[in-house]
Amino acid sequence: MTASKIPAKMEDTPRIERLIVLAERLIAALEGDIAALKDGRHAVLSTEDPEIQKLTAQYGREAQGFDLRIAESAPGALRQRFVAITAKFRDVLQLHARMIARVKNASEGMIRAIAVEVDRANAPMRTYGPRPGYKPQSSGAMVFNKVV
């Protein structure tokens, strides 16, 4: 085997620990958002905080270059902790996305209902008389009188 085909054992314990710490902080923020959304407090979402957005970007950069071999070569306890926190992070993200989608659908539904009601209120009243500016069309029939 050539050197490029031999799987290298990678160990980067500080990187795994950084990912765990970042994930724990993001989980706490997401759980706070979920609680706020359940209580109907949409204005106090912590994911809108610039610090949380920086943490999210930092987590994305750290996770982007993460190799599975790093986790495999980590000590057992650290690997188990990493797998557990990653699974919890994924579950919390999915729940957060569902809650945001629910709020979005509810608010869009209210906006649509209001728009329909405004259109209905602004629609002209139907009357039995001719409409203003309405010119009746010719029937196209020929009119004969008794002279012909």
Q: Let me know if residue 46 belongs to a domain.
A: yes
Contact indicator for 116, 108 with CB cutoff of 8 Å: no
For the chain, what is the mean pLDDT? Answer: 80
43 is written with which tokens? 């204005």
d(CA 74, CA 100): 35
The pTM (predicted TM-score) of the whole model is: 0.66
Residue 145 within a domain: no
**Could you tell me if residue 19 is inside a domain?**
yes
Residue 44 lies in a domain: yes
pLDDT at 46 over 90: no
Residue-wise pLDDT for 82-111, tens only, equals 889 999 999 999 999 999 898 888 888 888
For the cut 70, the answer to whether the pLDDT of residue 115 exceeds it is: yes
Could you give the CA distance from residue 67 to residue 93 in angstroms, rounded to a whole number? 21
User: What is the percent of the chain where pLDDT is above 70?
Assistant: 77
Q: Is residue 137 part of a domain?
A: no
Number of domains in the chain: 1
33 burial (CB, 10 Å; 0-12 / 13-18 / 19+) is buried
Q: Does some domain include residue 92?
A: yes
Note the pLDDT tens digit of each residue in 21-32. Answer: 999 999 999 999
> Containing domain of residue 107, as a range?
13-122
- Mean pLDDT over 123-132 rounds to 67
Q: Which is more confident, 121 or 125?
A: 121
Question: Is residue 132 assigned to a domain?
Answer: no
User: Does 59 reside within a domain?
Assistant: yes
